[in-house]
Amino acid sequence: MTLLFMLLTVVLIQAMVAGINLAIPSLAAGGLHPSHTDLVWVVDAYVLVFAALLIPLGALGDRIGRKRAVVWGLALFAASCTISALAPNVLTLQLGRALGGAAAALAQPATLGVLLAVYKESRTRAVTLWTVALGVGGVAGNLIAGAVLRSAAWPWFFWAFVPAAVVVLVLTALLVPQVPRFPSRTSAVDTVVLAGGLFALLFGIIEGPEHGWASSPVLGAFGLALALLAAFVWRGRHGRSPLLDPRVFAIASVRAGTLGVAASFLALFGLFFVNAQFLQDVKGYSPLLTGFAILPLAVGMLVMSALAGRPGAGRVTIAAGMGLVALGLVLLSFVRAGTPYPWYALCLLITAAGLGLCAPALTTGVLRGLPPARAGLGSGLNSAAREVGAALGVAVIGSVLNSTTSFTAGIAMGYRVLAALLLVFGAVAVAMWPRGDAAPVGEAVAGGERVRVPGAEAGAAGLGEDLPEMPGGGVVAGVAR
């Protein structure tokens, strides 16, 4: 039951990310009279806060207890949906969405931490299903939005999530076992600096297509992000209690996994961004039919993850998966208004199969670089990479659409650009992946050499508890010194 409730939490969080896009037409025509900029921020407030707080709140979940973080996160999520549904003006709606992003950042990393602690003998399978739930949640969001908005106004999209979140919250509180807490000393300054840096980075990426990549707000955001993230890295190297020691990226599987996760979700969310518009505006589908039309994405990820979810998946698995995703995107670039749906569904299946093949291995690579005490932080790092990749995917395909006069031609070019970027980043990730595929349980990879980590057999995500520590408790994560 623990697995079910944690996966349902992830699905709810990701459904909110994707489903809001189908609610925008109803919002635009509603009584709040939002401007175009208002609508952009209704969508982006959730994603920006979510991405900015994933790593800090992932670490907080390790400290206060992962089950507690899930329960508190679900409570805040239900409250945010209620505020959004009752919003008397656009600002209140945007604040409700921002609160939802914070709730998601608290709950989602903790779900994986709970799974790693409870399912020690089958953690590879748990990580695989958790990764698949991320993609399934996006499909579910489109289905929920399509079903609700077929006969109701936009507030009911938010109301639909409230009872679901409350039920999962209550069952989690009653039935999910407590898992160990890992109190640790982390700097509040680190938290603020990292959250600010990620927020500024995502702001620049999201606003680039809207204001222009050379505009003052976008360049200013990137400059601020660079300064804050550089300060965070410096503090990580020299501070007494770093939130995240940057030397974890000396571990090959962490570097490769982080880059690969970002690249994979660059492709997936670029697809999500234009897919609903294509089906409704070009093929003339209703919102509900649009939700059903993208079900092959969920089916492909579920089926392939069941076949590929095995320990030790590495270079070959990742390369094959990313190759399939790129192939699916290229095939989708040839889809037109008159293309039969079965061919379109096959293209989605190929894309989804590739994601189901590579995403679990990439996620495991990131988690393998941190000890059990930092499983929530590792999940936050993985999720932050995913959100940055997703924002880049939307920005890339949005920029391509803005540069073309034909919507269908822009989609076709956008899919090809996404495929090219995925192949480039994917090739780099595969090249960085440790030789011999994934490191066995109990080993981390640093500088191309395997480093034995004592006590790893008891560790979550395959790493032990006896990693070297910096003064003040900062984790070096097994990097040879």
| Three-state helix/strand/coil letters over the chain | CHHHHHHHHHHHHHHHHHHHHHHHHHHHHCCCCCCHHHHHHHHHHHHHHHHHHHHHHHHHHHHHCHHHHHHHHHHHHHHHHHHHHHCCCHHHHHHHHHHHHHHHHHHHHHHHHHHHHHCHHHHHHHHHHHHHHHHHHHHHHHHHHHHHHCCCCCHHHHHCHHHHHHHHHHHHHHHCCCCCCCCCCCCHHHHHHHHHHHHHHHHHHHHHHHHCCCCHHHHHHHHHHHHHHHHHHHHHHHCCCCCCCHHHHHEHHHHHHHHHHHHHHHHHHHHHHHHHHHHHHHCCCCHHHHHHHCHHHHHHHHHHHHHHCCCCCCHHHHHHHHHHHHHHHHHHCCCCCCCCHHHHHHHHHHHHHHHHHHHHHHHHHHHCCCCHHHHHHHHHHHHHHHHHHHHHHHHHHHHHHHCCCCHHHHHHHHHHHHHHHHHHHHHHHHHHCCCCCCCCCCEEEECCEEEECCCHHHCHHHCCCCCCECCCCCECCCCCC
Domain count, the chain: 1
**80 lies in some domain:** yes
**Model confidence band, residue 177 (pLDDT cutoffs 50, 70, 90):** very high
Q: State mean pLDDT over 337-362.
A: 93
How does pLDDT run across 232-279, given as a tens digit for each residue? Answer: 999 888 777 677 778 788 888 888 999 999 999 999 888 988 888 899
More reliable by pLDDT, 317 or 71 = 71
**467 lies in some domain:** no
How does pLDDT run across 115-170, given as a tens digit for each residue? Answer: 989 998 888 888 889 988 988 998 899 899 999 988 899 999 999 999 999 999 99
**10 lies in some domain:** yes
**447 lies in some domain:** yes
| Whole-number percent of the chain with pLDDT over 70 | 86
**300 lies in some domain:** yes
Which pLDDT belongs to residue 448? 36
Instruction: Give the domain range for residue 293.
Output: 2-187+239-462
**199 lies in some domain:** no
**140 lies in some domain:** yes
**32 lies in some domain:** yes
Look over the chain and give the mean of its residue pLDDT values, rounded to a whole number.
84
Q: State mean pLDDT over 22-51.
A: 86
Domain with residue 135: its CATH number is 1.20.1250.20
pTM of the model: 0.81
More reliable by pLDDT, 373 or 331 = 331
